[in-house]
Amino acid sequence: MRRYQYFTATDWPGGLYLSPTFAGSRPGALSAACWAAMISMGEKGYLEASRKILETASQIKEGIDGIESLHVLGDPLWVISFASDNLDIYRILDFMSKKNWNLNGLHKPSSLHICVTLRHTQKGVAEAFISDLSNAMEHVKRTPTGKGGMAPVYGMAATL
């Protein structure tokens, strides 16, 4: 019976996905933490946090669209996926990781995404993200393909 609870997806844009349980990657403790946060914040606090997140996400989307060779995919609210038609997006991921940004590499199409959270709404964070992303683009444009990092892994996964 256990073999039927495993789940795999090879064509998901986030890459190869395997889950050994019915609940997937959501542990029960996460649900309990969310419930506790909602009790602590209340409806008013939740709505204020949501407003800040959506405003910051809008600022980040505009910033991404303002960087040459980058474009936002779709019309996202707070999980913003973006791609480049002429640069290796995974090399941008490597650069941003070195700047301590936690982005996720995706494929089909090759892209990255950032999930905007309440932490990103702090003063100067969105501006720092856009600045680092712009610097990443410039770095990738002027340097030859380097070795190491996640670019080869995501590039290979995109061919599956």
CATH classification of the domain holding 83 = 3.90.1150.10
The dihedral formed by the CA atoms of 139, 140, 145 and 147, expressed in degrees to the nearest 10: 70
Domain count, the chain: 1
If one compares 81 and 17, the residue with the highest pLDDT of the two is 81
User: In the prediction, which pLDDT does 116 show?
Assistant: 98
* Domain contains 102: yes
Q: How far apart are CA 26 and CA 48, in angstroms?
A: 25
Show the domain range for 104: 27-158
In a domain, 105, yes or no: yes
- Which position has the token pair 């982005």? 103
126 pLDDT higher than 90: yes
3 lies in a domain? no
What integer pLDDT is reported at residue 122 of this predicted model?
98
Residue 5 lies in a domain: no
For 14-60, write each residue's pLDDT tens digit.
777 777 765 666 667 887 888 999 999 999 999 999 999 999 999 99
Q: What residues contact residue 111 under an 8 Å CB cut-off, 6+ apart? A: 13, 73, 81, 82, 83, 89, 105
Q: Is residue 55 part of a domain?
A: yes
19 belongs to a structural domain: no
What span, in angstroms and rounded, lies between the C-alpha atoms of 98 and 80? 20
